[in-house]
Structure 1
């Protein structure tokens, strides 16, 4: 595939199209080029994991789960055991936490990455974790299967370039004040440096209503699916900030066409160092997974299953 940017005369397009070695010529105009349906009409599938065992954008609905922040080995063991037992196919956990307040828990950093890598080895499941600065991309990529760009960094363009060039799939969260166009343009930065393995995540936007932490914009999921071939998942935990809303918003996300979820689960939310108020318990997560199955099947999909895993002790 060769991409030519700029204005191209119709005669040139026709001449190139007639070359025997050219299968087809795609003329893409506008700001959204690589992310657009004009560039790729069919849905992209993004494979994550050493063997590509987790696939976003296909017939399976993918559920990622785990604690918002990596705190300790016992905490990780308890949370991971719970989500694996209930059927999560991918793990989450933050080692670097860009918090609103400088006095809030900022994550364990490299020690947290090590603990997350332990869970990756213990379960055999792929992991996603957030990277917050360009200089951290290389070593975070070494210890994870997918890089997350958080809401506060959606328009950190140097970070997007580095993450895009890392060779890892990228989970791109929508900025809390970003339009859909800005969100897709951020994805363009990742794809422009050669990374086609991008998954979008709607995680709620800032509005005047303070009854929930943010406002989950499910219309953006449906619209993004119309505009782009990239998979789109939903974060019902950070968007609502309240455990009792996570299940209904998860079901709504599945019904509106989302390709998956990323859910905050903590074995003891009362002691959580980060966003404990929104975390589900293991029992609540198990109930959510049971509720998801019929909704996912009603829209013609299946809940993604772990191909094989074995829990070991650490």
Structure 2
């Protein structure tokens, strides 16, 4: 990884401080980040309900897909610009910063007018022209690991963004494709520990896409917290059974409230454990 000049924590004996990204009252890399919201923005009513519920439960960033890359061309592709407007309205009402995916270089600046954070999805991790384009915009970028990507390839993609001029990159582990088919992907939590050691960039985990199953999101979220991630990205829908995309992996507002309760308890336990270890030393 000798060519990675910008993403590495240590380069030629020079230690780079851990990156912290400030958005409003939130400092990513210091505050534990919880991104929550539906897979897709489907209507104004739906995103407003989702935003209010995740805000009440303790999320500090709102997600929602407006341009959706789907495996089938016949699947719901998102509402586009009008979805951005609904998402922006929900963010303004709740006070939550918003994040949404950008899939096309032509949409970068349009989405940048609405979103506080731009997301690069797994299918676009090695879309180098898109990485360079989001590197030119003054908005933080959440970069998801490609489903078939090695850690080195993932970090190289982050290097593309930073080399283009944008230092505010958040890495997201969202599971990789293996021979196992019981879950949607295989959540590689070892990658969290590895990348936290290699890079100064914050690392969040997306257990929704990693597992594809609502019943596995809580245990995988707690495991991610103990792996020392900097945050979680969770899909939450007012009525998952009626969702137009990925209904199996979206939590209800009540399930998300339960998740937040146990995540906060786990964070408190982890903090107490760290205090004990520091005292013992």
User: TM over 0.5, yes or no?
Assistant: yes
2:245 to 238, 261, 274: 274
Aligned partners of 1:87 and 1:246: how far apart in 2?
Answer: 17
Matched residue, 1:93: 64
Residues 47, 197 of structure 1: 8 Å contact kept: no
Q: Note if contact 2:103-2:120 (Cα within 8 Å) is conserved in structure 1.
A: yes
Normalising by the residue count of structure 1, what TM-score does the alignment of the two structures yield? 0.84
Secondary structure of 2:32's aligned partner: strand
Kindly state the Cα deviation for residue 264 of structure 1 after the two structures are TM-superposed.
Answer: 0.1
TM-score normalised by L of structure 2: 0.94
Greater helix content: 2
2:97 to 90, 107, 126: 126
Does 2:13 correspond to 1:38? no
Q: Distance in 1 between matches of 2:72 and 2:26?
A: 34
1:181 to 148, 152, 161: 152
Give ranges in structure 2 of 5+ residues lacking alignment. Answer: 273-281
Please give the per-residue CA displacement for 1:119-162, whole angstroms capped at 9, x wherever unaligned: 12111210000000111000100011000000000000010011
For 1:200-239, what aligned pairs fall within 5 Å after superposition?
200-239=171-210
2:258 aligns to what SS in structure 1?
helix
Of 96, 101, 122, which aligns to 1:151?
122
Question: How many residues matched?
Answer: 269
Match of 1:142 among 102, 113, 116: 113
Q: What is residue 113 of structure 1 aligned with on the other side?
A: 84
Deviation at 1:41, TM superposition (A): 3.4
